[in-house]
A and B are shown apart, each in its own frame.
Chain A
Amino acid sequence: MKRTFAITGLCVGGFVILWLAIASTGVSPVAAVQDLLRGSLGSPKAISDTLREATPLLIAGVAVFLALKTGLFNIGVEGQFTVGACAAAAVALRFPGALGMFMGMIFGIVAGALWALPAGWIKAYRGGHEVITTIMLNNVAAFLTTALVAGPLKDPSQESTTTASITDATKLSHLYNAGPWTINSGLLIGVLLALALSWWLKKTVSGYELRAVGANPTAAATAGIDSKKVMMRAMIASGAIGGLAGSIQVLAFQHRFYAGISSGYGFDALGVALLAGPAAIGLLPGALLFGVLAKGSTQLQILGIPKGITGIVLGVLIIAAAAIRYRRNKVVES
């Protein structure tokens, strides 16, 4: 009872903070919310853009979620996304056409997996915390890919540090494209991935073992599960999916690689995964919400509200979700 009260208080408090934050910019909060929704969901074009924005968030969210279920906090999705995108662009430029598209995706996945491997290995066999190692690997990824795109991968005809664009035949095709509506197959891949993960965790023995390691590694070890191996594999799989997200960003949307291609997708994906709740299905609304806020915030900027306001919205949402989620079950004394 007390708890319910506290959570209601938290939600109301969060709402008040938001209201005050928007009001402090001199704009009517009601108008701001209307504009945010109109900018993200108000027209077929807006919805298409929102879904496009949600796609990398969803796939990266799957990556974070998988690690989270193993008890690992993979902050490194940002870096895995970046190396995945870079590898995909490099390969797709070399082999134009459907083969390049396919190989780009594979190389993106492999690059992401390799990028997560050291963090997984250090965590499982040397006890180094994955948060620290993945953050460091993020920086290495950013510098390394920037160096590559400033050097060997750079398009000589361009001023800025970017690769050339891949040919139309190499692009990941649209699922639906008519009039103002554009939906890319990348979204379908993300949705299928979330559904598959949800099923795998719930229905397979290996999913069960992975969740056991995440929930209680000691009990998992006692149950004959090789916790270290599971952690290592989960981290690599998480990195592979992060790399896939990056490669799809290149193949479906950006069509080239440039320094700073991920505008923090890997970090926003942490929020998506935390909001998702216990089942991977929850990633779908989570990613959509983040997409709405990301797209809508562009509209808000026109109103003169700083983009950072959506950060406050997300912060409040995540805190409220965490407070509701981590309520302890009451012990029934018999």
Chain B
Amino acid sequence: MDNGGSIRNDAEDGRRRVKFAVELNHISKSFGSVRALEEVDLHVEQGSIHAVVGENGAGKTTLMKVLYGAINADSGQVVLDGNPVTFKSSGEAIDCGVGMVSQHYGIIPDLTCLQNLILGAEGGALLNLSQAEQRAESLAQKMGFQFEWRRDAAELSPAGAQKLEILKLLWRNSQVMILDEPTAMLSPADGEALFQSLRLLVAEGKTVILVTHRLPEVFGHCSRVTVLRGGKKVAERAVTETNPAELAELIVGKKLEAPSVHTPVLGDLVLEVQNLDVRGYRGDLATKSINLKIQSGELVGIAGVDGSGQRELFRALQGTASVVSGEIIFGNIEATKLRGGSRIQWGLRSIPEDRHSEAVIEDWSLEENASLGLQQLSPFAKNNLIQEKERMSEAEKMALMFQTKHGGLDQPMSSLSGGNQQRFVAARALWNAPKLILAFQPARGLDLAATREVYEGLRKACDNGAGALIVSYDLDELLEHCDRIVVMNRGELIEPGQGQERDRNVIGCLMVGAA
């Protein structure tokens, strides 16, 4: 902040003297007939954190991939430290000191932390692990990180994996670090710690480009911000010269209305969980004697750090994890031992956590994916026969609901971007009067406008008699959209006291077990 601040105080004349670590000039890129980037400029001062914001499909990731050498631009110029460069591959970019951490971490769980760190940059045909460990340790110490280098990376928490990714960039001597939504999986405390480390780095003269959806991060930690919309740069601002409302408007292109305050009309119980114990991946108890009640009409958020047992709770509710003890009751049906298919029949819908592995079949068409999970239900099926005409029209409705951009319903799911897949999956979960909706990070990969639409969809379903249980690692998202929030920490579910269901401080403390 101080770093950026001094530059800003110099006003316009001062900016001329500033050294740019990265200059992207007039970058254009098309995929087929889609113009992903049109004459985009991005100038990043050395030793600063520069935010790049925009909706899904605004071109943020594409622009970063151009800088990283993973995509070749159709036209335009990349200048690093005043020297024009052309990267044919990301390997060349890495050699020039440009590194990127993408949304999905590239950590291989079966390798040790050290092996992950040096993977691809071992520095010779023979491994010298003890030397590598020394260097790794000194890098980590400088950043204030702690790693057990010989342990498997599978044991890392998301925050640990994120830190390891950053060390990987340092290991490769990156001067320019691109972070794509680095805090998407982190608790507020871990996110804060991440930005502390980033500040250490920029103080040393490194440059950070932060791609994010979260405006508080922009205002809390960045010095400048570039806004992309529809593949064009629409604005660049010093952070002190703008405000969240203006930025949100620039991102969306229109004024966002404040969400209306909602008083839910509560109905019958749709879900009751009693003393539920579920075994986790490693065989230990992942949830410990959980009790939870949800009534129709309410959106209940589960706040908590990743790995607190949310995943196992959801799987138990879906019927894909085995329950050790306790009871699950849907409405007035005892459901603890009910098959997954029967739960869906009853009215359970879900937006799964991992879109690629749980929610869609990427090789299949959108049309075939539309009935995934609903395949037994009318009108998708009749006497074990697939009703193709009905499936087609339902798929059309699902694609329309949140404006999924697609090139035809017969095209494979894999041809959609992540955000568009998420829109489709969210629409499917709201299909045909659900009774209970489980949504795991429903806004993952969605921009502000789409996030709001999906939550509005959830709200509407709840007004029509459903109950919703929502997991997110973004506490602010839950605070904005849910009626009440419960907290999971180390497998236990804690309900904040009366009147504190939406108290940010209380919930923040409960999340890390500090209450």
Contacts and interface: CB of A to CB of B under 8 A. Distances in A.
A205 B386 contact: yes
Those 7 A-B pairs whose CB atoms lie nearest each other, nearest first: A224-B341, A224-B340, A223-B373, A334-B405, A224-B344, A215-B361, A222-B358
Given A215-B361, A219-B372, A224-B376, 17 more contacts: A204-B384, A204-B385, A205-B386, A212-B361, A218-B354, A219-B358, A222-B350, A222-B373, A223-B340, A223-B373, A225-B340, A330-B415, A332-B31, A332-B416, A332-B417, A333-B31, A334-B419
B375 A209 contact: yes
B264 to A, nearest CB: 28
A177 B361 CA distance: 48
Contacts of B381: 205
B373 to A, nearest CB: 4
A302 interface: no
23 contacts: A203-B388, A205-B375, A205-B384, A208-B371, A218-B357, A222-B358, A224-B319, A224-B343, A224-B376, A225-B341, A329-B363, A329-B414, A331-B414, A331-B415, A332-B31, A332-B34, A332-B415, A332-B417, A333-B57, A333-B61, A333-B62, A333-B417, A334-B405
B263 to A, nearest CB: 33
A8 interface: no
B339 interface: yes
Interface of A: 202-206, 208-209, 212, 215-216, 218-219, 221-226, 328-334
A69 to B, nearest CB: 12
A330 B31 CA distance: 10
**A205, A219, A223 — which one has the most chain B CB atoms within 10 A of its CB?**
A223
A253 B384 CA distance: 37
Contacts of B419: 334
A221 B320 contact: yes
A208 B358 CA distance: 16
Interface of B: 31-32, 34, 36, 56-57, 61-62, 318-320, 339-345, 350, 352, 354, 357-364, 368, 371-373, 375-376, 380-381, 384-386, 388, 405, 407, 412, 414-417, 419-420
A22 to B, nearest CB: 38
Contacts of A225: 340-341
A219 B415 contact: no
Contacts of B414: 328-329, 331
B412 A329 contact: yes
A216 B357 contact: yes
Contacts of A329: 363, 412, 414-415
Given A208-B386, A224-B319, A330-B415, A215 B364 contact: yes
Contacts of B341: 224-226
B375 A215 contact: no
Nearest to A216: B361
A217 to B, nearest CB: 9
Nearest to B341: A224
Contacts of B380: 205
Contacts of A219: 357-361, 372
A333 B339 CA distance: 38
Contacts of A208: 368, 371, 375, 386
Contacts of B34: 332-334
A222 B359 contact: yes
Given A218-B357, A219-B361, A203 B415 contact: no
A203 B357 contact: no
Contacts of B56: 334
B444 to A, nearest CB: 16
A334 B420 contact: yes
A269 B178 CA distance: 50
Contacts of B368: 208
A181 B452 CA distance: 71
Nearest to B352: A222
A105 to B, nearest CB: 26
A331 B36 CA distance: 13
Given A203-B385, A204-B385, A215 B415 contact: no
A212 B375 CA distance: 11
Contacts of A206: 384
A225 B375 CA distance: 10
